[in-house]
Structure 1
Amino acid sequence: MPAHVPPTTADTTTAGADTTTADPLARERAHLTSSRAALRTMREEVEALDIGDVTANWVNKQALEARTELRIKELADLAHTPLFFGRLDYDDGDHRDHAFYIGRRHVHDSVGDPMVVDWRAPVSQPFYRASRADPQGVALRRRFGYTGGDLTAYEDEQLAAGPDPYAPTSDGPRASKLLQEEIERPRVGPMRDIVATIQPEQDEIVRSGLSGTVCVQGGPGTGKTAVGLHRVAFLLYAHRERLARTGTLVIGPNRSFLRYIEQVLPALGELEVKQATVDDLVAHVEVRGADRAAAAVVKGDARMAEVLRRAVRSHVTPPAEPVVVVRGSRRWRIPAYELQQIVDELLARDIRYGAAREALPQRIAHAVLVRMEQSGEAPDDRVQDAVARNPAVKAAVKAIWPPVDPAKLVLRLLSDPDFLAAHADGLLTADEQRGVLWEKPARSVRSAKWSAADAVLIDEVTDLVQRTHSLGHVVLDEAQDLSPMQYRAVGRRCSTGSATVLGDLAQGTTPWATASWPEALAHLGKPDAVVEELTDGFRVPRDVIAYASRLLPHMSPGLTPVSAVRESPGSLAVHPVDGDDADDAAVVSACRTALRQEGSIGLIAADARVPAIAAALAAAGLPHLAPGTETTAEARLTLVPASLAKGLEYDHVVLDDPASIVAGEPDERTGLRRLYVALTRAVSGMTILHHQPLPAQLG
């Protein structure tokens, strides 16, 4: 049975620090202390297990030991992470007159009664979904506020008839005071989870089923990344055994981003979700080169998939001679025309090249067995296998259907104009073909200076030869920046599973950025995916997001601007600076001012400006971190090239010269999108410095 706590009658109240036993806050603190003690007992019980004599063999023992170690880690009490963050008091249904504490993991007492309920459990769902219009049996919803790991406040919401204190106004959505305080809490360290602040529209996405793919279009600060990560945690809770077999994967745009988010899932009790970039997935060769933008766009185009398919199938050679199999005193002859029929049948099935190559000797052997049976013999499967291994059959297979090395095929395609022209005819123009050919053809796979786009092509060929292993669920973040060929590479990893696709079309900053989600989902192999849009912003202050949204009509017309929950007056300051040298000094001064406040500081600048700014910071004695490095109380300033700012967030942002950021991109539209990303990284405040005129689109 759940722990019973008499419902309170407080309404939208933040309590003080009264510690008397009659004070609800004191009772909640006592429950927190008891829950932590119960969690510690649960962990100690697992640590005390003697598993030495309960397994039949050493393999089972190792598996059980690994599972036990994982369970011990799952039961860790994270000192600065609240064990529970909410409470539900029911007055209707099966849970009438009971209270449930909602937290990050299940905790029970010595007799098995729950003291904290996992946020993913069905009984916890009303914490996110219940409203005045639909209370779902809940009389009171209580949110808790924490400082560090200490419970310091609570806020109650009576879900009875009456006005809703958090109903949206004409100025936009509103949030509870504790929710706003949680959002505004200074950020020191990696990205934290937002499980305590998940909103109803976010929760619907988080709890959507495993079988379907969901695409989340969300502007800056709408929580799409956190929603995606929480969906993984929920699916692992709801479908533990299935996903344990099939696997899960989180794909991010770069290593800095993955380091930034890596602590979210462990904080939710999930320790075994792998993380990777798209480059990691296709790492068949060492990437040592880079393409010009035009070449990368063509290599990333979906038309390349058909070029590669043609190139692979071109290795199949029509049989010129019969196959003669000698067994004992008998000779069995399969004429060339019959071999061609077998080859045509395999080609018509359009199965993978390697699978067809493995089937070919068995098909030839079967034709031999038919002749044996016609002559009165009674061969069995062992005879067919022996015939398939016959030297004459092996030689025919090698000549007709030779093995294909994916890297060598792509090397030839990018080095041999005639070979490329033969397979790109009608697909790529002559200019496009010339654009993707290497200026200096490599002599071998090892010496080639492969680009990231080349590696994706090799991955495509690898799948044409042999099927790629599919996972049960894949989360793809910052998806708007993928090329069609990269979408295909990711889609292969979830061809029999599902995906959560996260992105913002307005933040697409690659030359091949996604034009529309239906088009991207078709390349992913999930054309029936549901597209959800998040428009309520919980991170970026209203003044800042309104300023950044001035760019939307010029780069992504049709997208809905984000409606900010937080007002934060005075959060935006724009200062002109005279002269380049003065700009460096102004940047240093702005950073010093920002460092007087709590939290993390992000100094974002055009990539070309970063060396000069780094030198100015060093000369001024201001140490700074690289993107993705965990900030601490002593080191809070991060120098961020604009190209790496996507997905990151800082309490205060100092933005250097917006015009330089726009000019650093190959075209104005991409430059404006890069600037939009940089303008939306702040949680509390932003200072913009410019020695050039601001882009006209900012007004």
Structure 2
Amino acid sequence: MRPDTVRSAIAEEQEFLDLATARRDRLAAHLEDELAAAAEDALAASRQRMLRRQFEELRRAGDGLVFGRLDALDGTVHHIGRIGLRDDGEPAENTEDTEDTKPAEDAADADPLLLDWRAPAARPFYTATPFDPQGQARRRHIRTAGSVVTGVDDEPLTHAGGGAGAEEGLVGEGALLAALGQRRTGRMGTAIATLQREQDDIVRAEATGPLIVQGGPGTGKTVVALHRVAYLLFTHQQMADQAVLVLGPSPRFLDYIAQVLPALGETAVVSATCDTLLPGVVVGRDESRVVSEIKGRALWQGALEEYARSLFPAPRDLRLRWDGEFHVIPAGTVAQVLAAVAPGRPYHQARRSFATQLHHLLAEAVAEQRAALLAEMEEGYEDILARFDRGVTPAGTAGSSSDVDGLLSDEEIEELRERIAGNDAIARFVESWWPTRDPGATLRALLTDPELLRRFAPTLTPAEAALVAAEPEPWAPGDIPLLDALADLLGEASPAPAAGDSVAERARRQRGWVYGHVVIDEAQELSEMQWQMALRRCPTRSITAVGDIDQAEASHRHTTWSEAVRATLGDRWTAAELTICYRTPSEVMDLTGPVLAKAGSHNAPPRAVRSSGIAPWQRTVAPDELAGAAAEAVRDLRHRWSGGTVGVVAPAARIAALRAALTGVPALTGVPVLTATQAKGLEWDATLLVDPDGIAAEPRGWNALYVALTRCTQELGRLLPGPSYDTSGVVASSQPKG
């Protein structure tokens, strides 16, 4: 574009941004006034919660309110933004057909002032290409800083306008590459302005069953998953009432992505790892890969189901005392009640149902015994009883049925049942015969008893059972899915509604919460029992799982998605794939082919679409100088990538020494030193890879090395321990300035 054309376009978009911002500010002020009033009843409180969600969405939309524009072939212009706005300042309604969104001040068929990026009419912004323009003549990306338009990128959507980016399948190539070239901040940002077509297809895919997305490093798996959450919550409002669960691989990763969904206006989201998903349960130790693999197997689900069933009491005569008399509930009757209440129900729910039935049975037994005693008395004393009744019943008064014949009325039997239900002695009897059980203690009883393990998990070898039984007491990561499964089979001993002002707070505090959708990031790391844990929280199977099977480092042995999910999902899942690497430069991706081959991969690495112009470099360092050389290299990288981020990845055995070396240098404070597993899902401008051979030598080390190589967006440096120090410092190239 010519400079004067650019200036004119910026002025035009500034005028529109000012208009949209004024609409947004007016509506936000109106909502703030309404929220200042106290809620007088439950209905008003519910309305205020809805208004607060709208207010928060408007407040967060201040930065990047408008980021795109579509000019259709018929002359229609649509602006695209974080939220939808009507011409009167109202937010555009969430409808499947945006033409139903009608501003109050304009004609009934007028379009909204600003289209929400999730609205169907906005989709061509992400999917139109010169080869498939979808009725559009031009796409414009609008760059802003706060309330100021700083630039525009126009992309003609005619075949003649297609360039190299179009051939690569890129949408908005200029804006995309500009975003990818920016310094990293240590927090993931939104990508609503630069989502690509293959990403948008996944974001907007149906949520009717499990969707598993395979994507290599830098393909935007996490971005796609999080923007899919925002899209689904926008499209399916009922999901907001149930909340969405996002499962990530580590607390560091969850912190890294923490700002994305709030920035997109979504708060009905619970983020957790598999280790932190159970309220009040804390992982207190690590475990060996061998034990982790054993505990992750699908066999435990069936074993725990059998174990839980064995805890149900066996039928027998139940002898209960009431008002000084003993009453017996026959074993046959007990068996009938157990058969009615136990099948398919959690242990404690069945216990509560049985106790309720027992209260009825005891009340009826008391009534029947009274009736039998009275009948026996009447056989010998009919005359005496008749005279007695005439003496105590006034003439002309019928009296109650129990006054006349000694039998209890239905109302009296119900009153008796209520007294039995509230009686402490009866409650103690039920507890002694059918005790409440703590999931933790009950699981430990199984895991620490070789005989129980042989009985309920017979497919374990004696050596494997011995390893499990010998584990110390604090919970390890492999225990959490087993504990969750058993807690589900036992059920809540005393269920209570979860407290909290928001749906996310209530969901977070309740183990048995059923979510509207579950997102799993780095899903290739989940064991079969962790998959069960995720599925338990979404019985509808509305699940989006993203990951790279070639980056799997967990102790399980799965090398394909079919192997990973067969035990949980069978073949009832849909596969999708991300094929383009946006983050990692081509210079680094060129190194990954041999590593993938040694990892046993059956997949081709994703295609890199950008070059940083910086060839990966390496130095050979004397082993005893490795930590000091790493600190020096990090100092250089931080200088070159000032304003961005640098990360260090190394074998687990070297982490402590490297952290100590960096901690001693104030200028290097805050630089993360992580294993490949800990670095999964993260990205930095520059990565220093220390002792790559050491990483490759770890369990599933070639997969881990693949992870470590692909964390940078610009520059990769490698330090290799060796017999001599390479004073040239660089093998592959000189170190250009970033």
Class of the TM-score when normalised by the shorter of the 2 chains:
0.7 to 0.9
Which residue of structure 2 lines up, in the alignment, with residue 495 of structure 1?
539
Structure 2 CA distance, aligned partners of 1:89 and 1:286? 54
Report the Cα distance in structure 2 between the residues aligned to 1:370 and 1:616, rounded to whole angstroms. Answer: 78
2:653 aligns with 608
Q: Tell me if 1:118 matches 2:103.
A: no
2:616 to 573, 576, 585: 573
**2:720 paired residue number:** 690
Comparing 574-583 and 70-79, the one that deviates more:
70-79
Tell whether 2:204 aligns with 1:207: yes
User: Following the alignment from structure 1 to structure 2, what is the Cα–Cα distance between the partners of residues 578 and 584?
Assistant: 10
Look up the equivalent residue of 2:622 and give its one-letter code: G
| 1:201 to 1:382, Cα distance in 2 relative to 1, 3 A | farther
For the residues of structure 1 that align with 2:339 and 2:55, how far apart are their CA atoms? 58
Alignment partners' CA distance in 2, 1:390 and 1:151: 70
- Cα offset, 1:334, TM superposition: 4.0
C-alpha distance 160-621 of structure 1, shift in aligned 2 (>3 A): closer
Q: Distance in 2 between matches of 1:409 and 1:328?
A: 36
1:407-486 aligned at under 5 Å gives the runs 407-424=440-457, 426-438=458-470, 448-466=473-491, 468-486=512-530
Q: Which amino acid aligns with 2:84?
A: H
8 Å CA contact 1:485, 1:523 repeated in 2: no
Q: CA deviation at 1:131?
A: 2.9
Cα gap change, 1:221 to 1:271, in 2 (>3 Å)? same
Count the aligned residue pairs.
644
Specify whether residues 154 and 591 from structure 1 end up closer, same or farther in structure 2 by C-alpha distance, changes over 3 A only.
same
Aligned twin of 1:658: 692
Q: Which runs of 5+ in 2 are unaligned?
A: 91-102, 104-111, 373-406, 493-511, 724-731, 733-738
In the alignment, what sits opposite 1:649? 683
| Superposed counterparts of 1:119-134, under 5 Å | 119-134=117-132
**8 A contact 1:488–1:525 mirrored in 2:** no
2:305 aligned with 1:271: no
Structure 1 residue 351 corresponds to structure 2 residue 345:
yes
In the TM superposition, what whole-angstrom CA distance separates every residue of 1:435-478 from its partner, at most 9, and x where no partner exists?
101366xxxxxxx4222222332221110011722111111111
2:268 pairs with 1:233: no
1:510 alignment partner in structure 2: 554
Cα–Cα, structure 1 residues 293 and 522, in superposed 2: closer, same or farther, change >3 Å?
Answer: same
Once residues 252 and 605 of structure 1 are traced to their aligned partners in structure 2, the CA distance between those partners, rounded to angstroms, is 22
Query: Out of 200, 217, 225, which is 2:214 matched to?
Result: 217
Cα distance, 1:689 vs. partner? 2.1
Q: Secondary structure at the match of 1:49?
A: helix
2:621 partner SS = coil
The answer to whether 1:533 aligns with 2:530 is no
The CA distance in 2 between the partners of 1:355 and 1:618, in whole Å, is 54
Q: Structure 2 length as normaliser, TM-score?
A: 0.79
Match in the other structure for 2:66 = 84
The 3 A distance-change label for structure 1 pair 227 and 50 is: closer
Q: Deviations over 1:648-688 (max 9, x none)?
A: 0111112112012233x3x3xx1111111111101112122
- Structure 1 residue aligned with 2:181, among 177, 184, 188? 184
SS in 1 for 2:478: helix
1:219–1:534 CA contact under 8 A, matched in 2 = yes
Q: CA deviation at 1:591?
A: 2.4
Alignment of 1:313-352 (within 5 A): 313-322=309-318, 334-344=329-339, 346-347=341-342, 349-352=343-346
Partner of 1:139: 137
Q: Give the whole-Å Cα distance in 1 for the aligned partners of 2:323 and 2:666.
A: 85
Q: Which residue of 2 aligns with 1:32?
A: 17
In structure 2, relative to structure 1, the CA distance for the partners of 1:554 and 1:387 (3 Å cut) is: farther
Distance in 2 of aligned mates of 1:328 and 1:654: 80
Q: Does 1:307 align with 2:303?
A: yes
SS for the counterpart of 1:115 is coil
Contact conserved, 2:649 with 2:676, CA < 8 A, in 1? Answer: yes
Cα distance in structure 1, aligned partners of 2:143 and 2:415:
75
User: Which segment drifts farther, 258-267 or 525-534?
Assistant: 525-534
State the partner residue of 1:631. none
Please give the alpha-carbon distance, in whole angstroms, between the structure 1 residues aligned to 2:416 and 2:545.
Answer: 48
Residue type at the aligned position of 2:608: A
Tell whether the 8 Å contact from 1:607 to 1:643 is kept in structure 2 after alignment. Answer: no
> How far has the Cα of 1:120 moved from its partner?
0.5
Q: C-alpha distance in 2, partners of 1:84/1:482?
A: 38
Q: Distance in 1 between matches of 2:136 and 2:269?
A: 34
Task: State how far apart, in whole Å, the 2-side matches of 1:142 and 1:524 are.
Answer: 45
Task: Pick the aligned partner of 1:676 from 702, 706, 712.
Answer: 706
Is 254-263 or 591-600 further displaced after alignment?
591-600
1:543 aligns with 2:590: no
Matches of 2:340 and 2:172, distance apart in 1: 64
Alignment-derived partner of residue 3 in structure 1:
none
* Amino acid paired to 1:243: M
Report the residue type matching 1:639 in the other structure. V
Mapped partners of 2:631, 2:147: distance in 1: 35
User: Is 1:52 the counterpart of 2:47 in the alignment?
Assistant: no
TM-fit CA distance, 1:585 = 4.2
- Please give the secondary structure, in 1, of the residue aligned with 2:668: coil
Conserved in 2, the CA contact under 8 Å of 1:16 and 1:153? no
SS at match of 1:186: coil
CA contact (8 A) 2:138 2:155 kept: yes
Taking a change above 3 Å as real, the CA distance of residues 384 and 313 of structure 1, as seen in their structure-2 partners, is: farther
Alignment partners' CA distance in 1, 2:621 and 2:130: 55
Distance 1:322 1:619 in 2: 71
Aligned partner of 2:27 among 36, 42, 63:
42
Normalised by the size of structure 1, how large is the TM-score? 0.83
- 2:298–2:529 CA contact under 8 A, matched in 1: yes
User: Residue 119 of structure 2 aligns to which amino acid in structure 1?
Assistant: A
Looking at structure 1, the residues matched to 576 and 280 of structure 2 have their Cα atoms a distance apart, in angstroms, of 34
**Is 1:217–1:504's contact at 8 Å kept on the other side of the alignment?**
yes
Contact 2:686 2:716 survives alignment (8 Å) = yes
Give the CA deviation at 1:428: 1.5
Aligned alpha-carbon RMSD (Å): 3.4
* Counterparts of 2:88 and 2:672, CA distance in 1: 47
Larger Rg: 2
Q: Percent identity?
A: 33
Q: CA deviation at 1:62?
A: 4.9
In the alignment, what sits opposite 1:629?
Answer: none
Shift of the 395–33 alpha-carbon distance from structure 1 to 2, 3 Å rule, reads: closer
Against the structure 1 CA distance between its residues 513 and 273, is the aligned structure 2 distance closer, same or farther, given a 3 Å change threshold?
Answer: farther
> Is 1:74–1:271's contact at 8 Å kept on the other side of the alignment?
no
Q: What secondary structure, in the 3-state scheme, does the structure 2 residue paired with 1:107 have?
A: coil
1:289 partnered with 2:285:
yes
In the alignment, what sits opposite 1:157?
Answer: 155
Query: 1:295, 1:611 → 2: CA distance?
Result: 25
- Cα distance in 2 for residues equivalent to 1:439 and 1:43: 56
Aligned letter for 1:407? G
Shift of 1:544: 0.8
Aligned partners of 1:325 and 1:390 also within 8 Å: no
Are the equivalent residues in 2 in contact too, given 1:364–1:388 (CA < 8 A)? no
Cα distance, 1:311 vs. partner?
2.2
Please give the per-residue CA displacement for 1:551-596, whole angstroms capped at 9, x wherever unaligned: 1122242123111111333x33232313124433432343233222
